[in-house]
Amino acid sequence: MVVNPTLGASASAPQAAAKAKAPTAKNVIFINGDGMGAAMRQAARLHLAGLGGQLAMDKLPVSGQLTTEPDDPKAVVTDSAAAATAWATGEKTYNGAISVDVDGNPLATLGQQAKAAGKATGLVTTAQVTDASPAAFFSNTANRSAQDEIARQYIEVSKPDVILGGGEDWWLPAGTAGAFKDQPAEDPSEASKGTKGDLIKKAKKAGYSYVNSADQLSRAKDGKLLGLFANEEMFQQRPEGQGDVYSPVVGLSTMTSKALSTLDKNKKGFFLMVEEEGTDEFAHSNNATRTLQSMQELEKAVAVARAYVATHSDTLLVITGDHETGGLAVEESDAADESGTGISTEDGPFSIRGSEKSFYIDWTTSGHTGVDVPVTAAGPLSDRFTGKHANTHVYDVLREALTRR
Confidence (pLDDT) at 340? 61
Q: Which amino acid is at 336?
A: A
Separation of alpha carbons 308 and 312, rounded Å: 6
Residues labelled catalytic: 80
244 is in an annotated binding site: no
CA 143 to chain centre: 19
Which residue stretches of the chain have pLDDT < 50? 1-20
Q: Which amino acid is at 181?
A: K
Confidence (pLDDT) at 19? 47
Determine contact, residues 125/131, Cβ cutoff 8 Å. Answer: yes
Confidence (pLDDT) at 281? 97
User: Does 349 sit behind a cis peptide bond, omega within 30 degrees of 0 on the bond before it?
Assistant: yes
Confidence (pLDDT) at 341? 66
169 is in an annotated binding site: no
Domains of the chain by residue range: 43-62+71-310
Q: CATH code for 43-62+71-310?
A: 3.40.720.10
368 is in an annotated binding site: yes
pTM: 0.93
Confidence (pLDDT) at 405? 64
Q: Tell which residue, 183, 292, 281, has the closest CA to residue 239.
A: 281
280 is in an annotated binding site: yes
393 is in an annotated binding site: no
Determine contact, residues 272/259, Cβ cutoff 8 Å. Answer: yes
